[in-house]
Amino acid sequence: MPHWLAERMTGLGTAITETVVRDYGASAFLSRLSDPFWFQALGAVMGMDWHSSGITTSVMGALKRGLAPRADELGIYVCGGRGRFSRNTPQELRSLAGRRGFDGEALVRASRLTARVDNNAIADGFQIYLHSFVVTSAGEWAVVQQGLNDRSGMARRYHWHSASVRDFVAAPHTGIVGENQGVIMNLVDARAKPARTALLEITRENPEKTLLAARHLRLPNHHEVLAENVDLKRLGAVLAVAYERDLHDFAELLLLEKLGPRTLQSLALVAEVVHGAPNRFSDPARFSFAHGGKDRHPFKVPLKTYDQSLRLLRKALKAAKVGDRDKLDGFRRLEGFVRATETRLDPEADFDAAVAHENEISPSLGGRCVFDDKPGQRSLF
């Protein structure tokens, strides 16, 4: 992960978190983290390649760094991390519990159980190497963790949210992202109660939680963004708002800013990550049209646009702190306006033309990718 993107991801991730917490509360932020579709969209809008396993490490690393100085203010604490940092989770949780009056041992137990379930009770060939435990000042928690299959080189991500966990060993996840591994041993499948009873001698009561209909986030093996990965109607609405003159002027009025179309396009996608309904994230590749991808998929990261988006979001948050919510509320209105445009105009984006346009204007926007860096300029989170 290059420094020039890591710093920006930290800033944008923090600003998006603050906006969600301010408008919807800390519990809603955990609910979103536990949705694999929203998480993938968040990573894409922050400049990561939309389907890369690196999204998990990069996003959680950026959130931990960015939220640490604001943790008491926002009531969001990110513990754990990748590799050796994951082993620090119990110590971090006990320290936090001492300061905030939590039941530290209960949190440590939850952390260990989530890791043991995904590493041991689900025999899918993936070993956990990243464990991020996010807890609010009210003691509510979410877990995002990732496993690696050494043989295939593929990764798998597991999502948890305490509000959804009725039983740690009965369908406890809010989502699991990964390629189908065929028939596997899954002792926390809701249907595996007889096996759990026999092996672990657990309670004979039926699990309280009903297994809901599964939603599947399928990520392809190819790295580039293709037209079939994107809902072209939804992308078309974003582009229409940004580039059609009459719509563009109205959207500028909503945000009370003089915005160029490229920045407005980015802010529309950021606004959707903050305010969009859950069913809006079924095509996370679309969100890579906000700030591109570090590996230039679908195009290089436009640094000037990224920085302007971040400045405007920070400016809106700063104004909201002193009671002026017009700019921050503008993001909510912008998201609604894009949805209305999608319904009213029934637009459909020309995918190839949109990508070609981005590549054409990339030099003027400071487009950059990891392939532009010299040896020694990259760093991992």
Summarize the confidence of residues 218-237 as an average pLDDT: 84
For residue 172, the model assigns a pLDDT of 87
Summarize the confidence of residues 336-341 as an average pLDDT: 90
Summarize the confidence of residues 229-237 as an average pLDDT: 89
CA distance 124 to 121: 9
Model confidence at 150, pLDDT cuts 50, 70, 90, reads: confident
Q: CA 279, 285, 289, 292 torsion: positive or negative?
A: positive
Summarize the confidence of residues 57-81 as an average pLDDT: 94
For residue 354, the model assigns a pLDDT of 94
| Helix extents (H) in 256-302 | 261-275, 288-291
For residue 101, the model assigns a pLDDT of 87
Model confidence at 199, pLDDT cuts 50, 70, 90, reads: low
Q: Which of 48-57, 69-78, 133-142 has the lowest mean pLDDT?
A: 48-57
Cα 40 from chain centroid? 5
Model confidence at 203, pLDDT cuts 50, 70, 90, reads: very low
For residue 253, the model assigns a pLDDT of 67
Q: Examine the pLDDT at 90 and tell me if it is beyond 60.
A: yes
Summarize the confidence of residues 229-256 as an average pLDDT: 80
**What's the predicted TM-score (pTM) here?**
0.75
For residue 206, the model assigns a pLDDT of 45
Q: Examine the pLDDT at 133 and tell me if it is beyond 80.
A: yes
For residue 191, the model assigns a pLDDT of 79
CA distance 311 to 99: 33
Q: Which of 94-98, 105-109, 244-248 has the lowest mean pLDDT?
A: 244-248
Q: What is residue 288's DSSP assignment? A: H
Burial bucket for residue 257 (CB in 10 Å: 0-12, 13-18, 19+): middle
The overall average pLDDT reported for the chain is: 86
Model confidence at 377, pLDDT cuts 50, 70, 90, reads: low
Dihedral, CA of residue 164, residue 170, residue 173 and residue 176, to nearest 10: -160
Q: Examine the pLDDT at 13 and tell me if it is beyond 50.
A: yes
| Helix extents (H) in 178-260 | 193-200, 232-243, 245-255
Domain boundaries along the sequence of the chain = 3-34+52-200, 227-371
Report the length, in residues, of the chain: 381
Summarize the confidence of residues 213-231 as an average pLDDT: 74
Model confidence at 210, pLDDT cuts 50, 70, 90, reads: very low
For residue 212, the model assigns a pLDDT of 41
For residue 125, the model assigns a pLDDT of 80
